[in-house]
Structure 1
Amino acid sequence: MPISTPSHAGKVINGRYRLITLLGSGSLGQVYLADDIPQRRQVAVKVLHDSLINDEESIEKFRKETEIAASLTHPNVIDTYEWGEGEIPFTVMEYLSGGTLQEMLERTSALTISQAVVIGVAASEGLDYVHKRGIIQRELKPKKILFNSEGRVKLGGFALAADLSGTALTEKSKYASPEHREEKTIGTASDIYSLALVLTELVLGKDHVGQDAQTDSAESVSDPAEAIFGSITPAITKALTYEPSNRPDAETFRDMLVEASKELSRPDPLPIKSGLGISITTPVNPDDTDANNPKKLTPFTRIKKAAQFVASRFRRWTWLLLMAALIAGVISLVYVNDDEEIINIREVPDVIGLTPQSLLDQVSSFWELEEALTREDGSTAGTILKTIPLSGELLEEGQILTYYVSQGSELRDIPLGLTGLSIQDAEAALLGARLTLGVITQQSDEDIGIGLVIGPANQDSEMPTGSPVDLIVSSGPELRTIPVDLEGNSFEDAETALVLEGLQVRKQEVYHPTIPEGIVIMLNPASGEALLRDSFVDLIVSLGPEPLAE
């Protein structure tokens, strides 16, 4: 019932996008459903995996994919609104509530040829647009074909064709072209082959196309039987040609599908999913004192409500005609079927501030519960912040009730650039980020001056609003200890030992009756004493016996 805990749920990206719940994850990052706070719209935000924050190669790949996506503007390509790298690299895209083609296949198993052609034509138009700009899909597959709420096909996940020239892509699926599986150079023709395989699977049904390609040899694909694929057989057959040069380009493939569609029946609407499965219901009547009890909707009740709706929108003469038709329908229902259809509905309870267990105790198994995690300043972790549908609205039995559970206050980024600041300046920076100054610990540091901030005491990059941030403050460089047993050594050896300790040397030469020239007689300060870095140590060095006077 509950979904897995997303690590960034509740975080506000770029001061604007509040991450709500995890939608999916890939090799580079996670994609979240988010609120665009100023625009009051839902968007999808992709953030780089935490484990890759310091991986320059991954950051560069994330940046390049984002730049490519942001450069594309086409009705069949996912729109990219904004991107940046601030505290964490991110990309803001349109939220496609219709889900992926892969999810559609899992729900419906197979589509009609007409429906497959609708998807194929739209995908071809998107591919034609990107191919003419030197960009390819790499390996088109159902999970890379998405739908918006109106059923429009959208493609994503592109790469520059030049970046793939002469490279072998090791990740292969059953939709990979022969040249991809054989680790040859791939181009735009590879996308057409993959699209033809996807359309084949749409008609034949899920899991009826090939298998994951784990070998180096090309898997043979049977020519589509005309008895199954009808008028689109020539287009599919041509696109599945082994040699890339013999396949049609995206524009030609699209034209072939359009021509074939003239012999097909009108397609049914595509069975796209509705967002997160959240139901939209009618608000309850405030005068209804029995709203918490299940209601029974019979055919007669439905007809009455429909009649009231129609009456409010049509002229009197139109209403009379429709009423006559409705009365005839009622009579037909009475005589044809006396069994009344019973549908239970119930008012969504007010559980704001309660625990999920309290909600479960109230509704038992009446609805299917779906948990989403979020954050909100001032909220108590583990309590419900809101439900969809809202409390007081009606929801049929068995429908999805989504409840949002607080993980505590919103996450705030710990400011960068604290290193080298005074404690007062660091505290001001923390307050500006809606955090507070915590415990101060002193630690020696070779480079940062006494009293200046070295950095936060922990490795966290973000903390809940109002949290104290502990700081480490420099106490200056460590004290240096003068090495022992330097007396009796040559000046050069003693000097080297002191310099390696971070101390400076001053040489004083004196005559000594018994100690040879160049040997250290004594040190000032003496061996074993502790000094600040770069302090001077005087080395008293022998000049040998004093010359005799002539």
Structure 2
Amino acid sequence: MSAVNRDQFIGKTLDGRYHVRARIARGGMGMVYLADDLRLGRRVAVKAMHAHLVDDDSFLRRFEKEAQAAARLNDQNVVNVFDQGLDGDVPYLVMEYVPGITLRELLKQQKRLTAAQAIEISEAVLSGLSAAHQAGFIHRDVKPENVFLADDGRIKIGDFGLARAANNNTTTGQALLGTIAYLSPELVTRGVGDTRTDVYAFGIMLYEMLTGVQPFRGEQAVQVAYMHAHQDVPKPSLISREASPELDELVRWTTARDPEKRPRDATIVLARMRELLDGGLHAPTRVLPSDGPGSTRKLDLNATAATTVLGATAVTSVAPAAVAAAAVQEPTPAAPAGSKKQTPKKKATKPRDDEGRLQPVAQSPIERAQALQRKRSKRGAIVAAIALIITVAAGAISWYTFQGPGALKTVPQVLGLEPEQASNAVTAAGLIPELADCTNPTVAPGLISDASPAPDTRVPADTTVKLCQSIGPASLPVPTLVGLSSAEAEKLITEAGFTFDGITSEVFDGGVADTVLAAFDADGNPLGAEYREQGPITLVLSAGPVPNVSGLSATEAKNVALSAKLNFDESLNSEASSEDIESGRVIALAGAETLRVGDSVGLIISTGPELFAVPDVTGLRMNEAIKRLEEAGFKPLTGVPQALRNAVHVKDTKPAAGEKVRAGSEVELGFEL
């Protein structure tokens, strides 16, 4: 959606109820507007999805999930979602309007917070996250921008645009979502997270509230990600007097690199913080006291200050006045009782120099001239010193303003903006924008994905800031994966710039177990020569040869099948004759032609060799009987010479007619004339 179309959103009445008044914020997935609920007569916030994301099913699902996630939460510290709808093909959410500022804006104003402020905000954030975790959701984007400080003192967490159902292996899919400064090590290294991911982000945010800075900073996002994965978060007390040992412990506990060493969810952290408060940790005071509707508030920058210490300049300016007051108020000795009132005698006034010290009286014109010369010399020295100080100060101010830190400009935050907006922001900061196309797997095409120097960096005026406009993920060559072990393939996938998305199946193909047989893309199609950067890749592995159960008992064969991760289904059992396997023993597994791990199988049980009935040849001439038995697969035996066989008839057989024997068995023929 272009800037013009977004502006045209203002003034619309959505669903005949929500009249849009003004645009108040921009989010990763949509624009936020102030609106009037004409039905209930209240102010609301309307979040409309960016039009260029409407055609992306994954963004639509995430947008809908935000409504579902927040609507299911009923906590005073979570921004409420009232309604959702469509304006044409653009979905929107109707949310609670929270007039005030974000925690990010508070940090910009105060640089760092007092311990009391940090504790109060932390308790509210943890309460909201605890409600989300207990409802089965993780937020996935905990950061100061998503913590809202209302004018009436309420503290709420919002923007559940990245929320999803929580489990022990929640994955981010193709890309790491959220802000890199708050991403947990497991999200950086493996792309998976759970409720402990939110706990880590909270710990980083608590560190930032106490110190005014993030624990890990770098020129590029990948540098910050690397530090999250390989460095421990330092104690905030190393750079902040506001951090007590208890707060140090809380930060280190919630930001442990190993998620197993972190609290399981926000409910546990909230309980620990309340224990600390009960134990005497700085009692919180209100961050934004209520002054009545419509009031304009200023933050109390000395929320915990108890004593003001005057610097040397203040002491110097007060001291002379105090001394003078003491001199004026020096008491006169009282007269003894009954004595006459005496008029005090005037004391001789002695001359003093410029600093109030007594000066000897000159005894001659020469001495008086010398004294006057000394006074003039001192005045000249003072004037010269003052002039020197003024000159040095002017030079210092000039250097600071035109050459030193005062001449530096701050690179503005431009990530996620459209190119025109980013260029305007850079120009307004006194810098020169330079636009270039860059591939990026996580930032939507058409938005700024990177800036060099990085945002918030201090640089000289007129420095060129290179702005990278995302053109989507790069197309990378696909390495050969077939024939590798699963571990080798997973490592190669990651090194080649793709995302390993798991094993789809393991096939009993007779090959070497754990060997890659095939690799597929996100749509389930075989990989070609190239694939998009960080695209998910799934593998099919060999499970080795089909388990051999020939000759085993039924119980033994069942145990072999189960140990090979096959499911046993007795209804698939069948029987078959076998020349080699004795009756009651297993011939083979019964199941699909191509077996995979997890398939159901039964047993083919032997009934022994196949038996055939001996034909009835009684009364036939010997030659005819022999021919019929041979055709039936038997071996006829007779003592009648060949020349006489047409002259005799068969009297009986052994085995008898109708008796079942193996094919190829010998049959003796009795005869009569």
Select the structure with the greater relative contact order (CA < 8 A; seq sep ≥ 6). Answer: 1
What TM bracket, shorter-length normalisation? 0.3 to 0.5
Could you state the TM-score of these two structures normalised by the residue count of structure 2?
A: 0.38
Could you state the TM-score of these two structures normalised by the residue count of structure 1?
A: 0.46
